[in-house]
Structure 1
């Protein structure tokens, strides 16, 4: 089966050096790249490299968007390469996060031998690309001289010249953190040296299972060989999976420390909204499940990176769910829910992991605990909770300008281009 590696990173000089090392290790590897700098005009520049050719093609898309590029050309090209090439490196545009691309590789149905994705039910056995190729690893290139600044800032991609799309409001932090967190292998653009303690500590906690390589050295782990048993290998995580992967260190190093917050009572929406400010300064990453008093059945997923944060609807709790919902939940989630089942709340809980770099984790912990319902509010019951002011809606970005003080009507979840609910819960790209 054809082996596939997804390669990404903001520093393109480092990415190109990594490609050179890969081609030295395997001269016949096919490198496929879609340059999205011209996407706003409906054009994508595709480059195909192997041991014989270096072919460049300009693609005209009916709708200039990342989704069209992936569905109309990336996936069909990989389907065409399946079984014909021994190894393929999918070199992502620097403005792309690997997780939604890998979600598409493992979810969007394509017709083997066809030039375009197919819908299910047409009688031609469509399947995802990962049924035809072996997704071996996600490799991310980081520049130690600026990655931590990128990961903790609030500059947007357009401000950094990384995107020209008018509706792209992602931050560089969301991109940098998303690329590093999902990596099976991290490649640094220079050797580790004195003064790198902070970035080393952050990456140890953000991506604990990923080995560190340098761009100047060839290593077959670039192709996914010899990775640790806990390697993700391009498989997106679910909302209800454990938040700590790979046993990251919990002790602090300088100002870098991981806070694990858990509670078995709901958040007061207004107080939580105020507490979120503590997650926007001196915090590299926050991830986890949130339970609001105003919507007792809804699982909300919270993610932050640097100075940007989003909460979105990510499904429902099993507490109060019918038999069909329990059956659809899967064995692992049912088992985890049963192990932690509360006689009153069922599986409903607060579970957040906060990666601090300079922020005081005790202060964050205190702010989050202060946002929980008090004993008196808890005793008032769910009927009273429904009348609490709720500024969130069903998706909510921070910082916000003028949040609505009444509960908005549900509007559905937005795609995970900025932090949002996980892909296996949403199903769009």
Structure 2
């Protein structure tokens, strides 16, 4: 079995490891750090092993230069061949974009044995320091260089990196502070529940026996149906938490009409100030065949071309899509427009749901514009993506 641990501070990650050691005392913990090497094409990857069989600790506690996913995949394969029934906990650093890294780690190179033949995946557990979380989610003026599905770092804002980390989790362990931090703790707990509604949230300070910690070490059956790569599909089901918790709410906006990019740009100042995080995909009139991903964290918004809409008769594209994507396309299929649609989830405090929906509804094409067809749409002014461009801007 392979467990996965991360955290937004070393202390938060260390506390999760303490809980896992209580639940599985014989587990081998493989801690990883990755540092960019400006002089070469690959980063410096340090591994340190603790627990488990002492013979493996010496061979794994070393450094190497190369692709982190390749190095760690080799380590895990060697451990599995030597100790087929071992429980391994992989502790990832906070400069790792977890889901893309796991997708690459879990990918099977040609001629190699899949890791899934050796390991069942336990939940990804993320330790969260509430003070650091709230601070990072507000930070859009500093870049965090994060490793993901390739050996080179990609720059994100600190806010985007923090949001991605908690959204990847299946279990979150929220560290408690003193009595003076009660309000911040409860606010952070409410925010985490909206950022990742499907995750379990545990409070670190609550007394737990070994039996109560078994969800941290139990294999997650969901990985068998949908691996890490499938979770990266830009067309994913929108999951939002209903209701308002400590002033935090989530709003889901959908539309089956393409967006007028200029009107969308004009309405952004009215909808974004109260938004802490938003994610989704767009159907933009000037790029009718492209899926445009929408991500915001803090006051930073990124729109990016992220693939193409599935088309009727394109067998290759349908086979390459994840099972979840194919199912969603079938549910939402339109005889003329196919799977094209807009879908965004906004999370924040005092969002003003009616105002937000009304602003976005004014940005879609009206009946007259819709009737003109895609040839006319591509000529509309586009201050966000640029008319006729293929790459992302903004």
- TM-score, normalised on structure 2? 0.81
Q: CA deviation at 1:103?
A: 0.9
**2:140 corresponds to:** 154
2:368 aligned residue: 376
User: 1:259, CA displacement in angstroms?
Assistant: 0.9
Whole-angstrom distance in 1 between the partners of 2:113 and 2:142: 36
C-alpha RMSD of the superposition: 3.4
Aligned equivalent of 2:116: 130
CA distance 1:383–1:99, shift in 2 (3 Å): same
SS of residue paired to 1:196: helix
Per the alignment, residue 407 of structure 1 pairs with 388
Q: Structure 1 residue 140: deviation in Å?
A: 0.4
Is structure 2 residue 189 aligned with structure 1 residue 200? Answer: yes
Q: In proportion to residue count, which structure has more helix?
A: 2
Q: Which of 55, 58, 68 is residue 63 of structure 2 equivalent to?
A: 58
Provide structure 2 residue ranges, at least 5 long, that are not aligned to the other structure: 146-150
Give the aligned partner of residue 104 of structure 2.
104
* 8 A Cα contact 1:184 1:209, kept in partner: yes
- Partner residue of 1:187? 173
The 5-angstrom pairing of residues 155-174 of structure 1 reads 155-158=141-144, 168-174=154-160
Instruction: Give the distance between the partners of 2:189 and 2:196, measured in 1 at CA.
Output: 10
Judged with a 3 Å threshold, the aligned counterparts in structure 2 of structure 1 residues 12 and 260 are, in CA distance, closer, same or farther, namely same
The 3-state SS of whatever aligns with 2:244 is coil
Report deviation, 1:226.
8.7
Q: TM-score normalised to the size of structure 1?
A: 0.75
Q: Deviations over 1:3-39 (max 9, x none)?
A: 1111111111121122223223333211112222464
User: Could you give the per-residue CA deviations for residues 208-255 of structure 1, whole angstroms, max 9, x where no partner exists?
Assistant: 2322224465522222369999998856423333111xxx53122343
| SS of 1:145 mapped into structure 2 | helix
Q: Is the 2:122–2:216 contact (alpha carbons within 8 Å) kept by the matching residues of 1?
A: no
**Count of aligned pairs between the two proteins:** 372
Aligned to 1:49: 50
Paired position in structure 2 for 1:242: 237
Quick one: structure 1 residues 175 and 335, their matched pair in 2 at CA, closer, same or farther if it must change by over 3 Å? Answer: closer
The correspondence of residues 30-429 of structure 1 with structure 2, limited to 5 A, is 30-37=28-35, 39-40=37-38, 42-51=43-52, 52=54, 53=57, 56-61=61-66, 68-71=67-70, 73-83=71-81, 84=83, 86-107=86-107, 109-110=108-109, 120=110, 125-158=111-144, 168-190=154-176, 193-215=182-204, 217=208, 219-224=213-218, 236-237=230-231, 238-244=233-239, 248-277=240-269, 280-329=272-321, 332-393=324-385, 405-408=386-389, 410-411=390-391
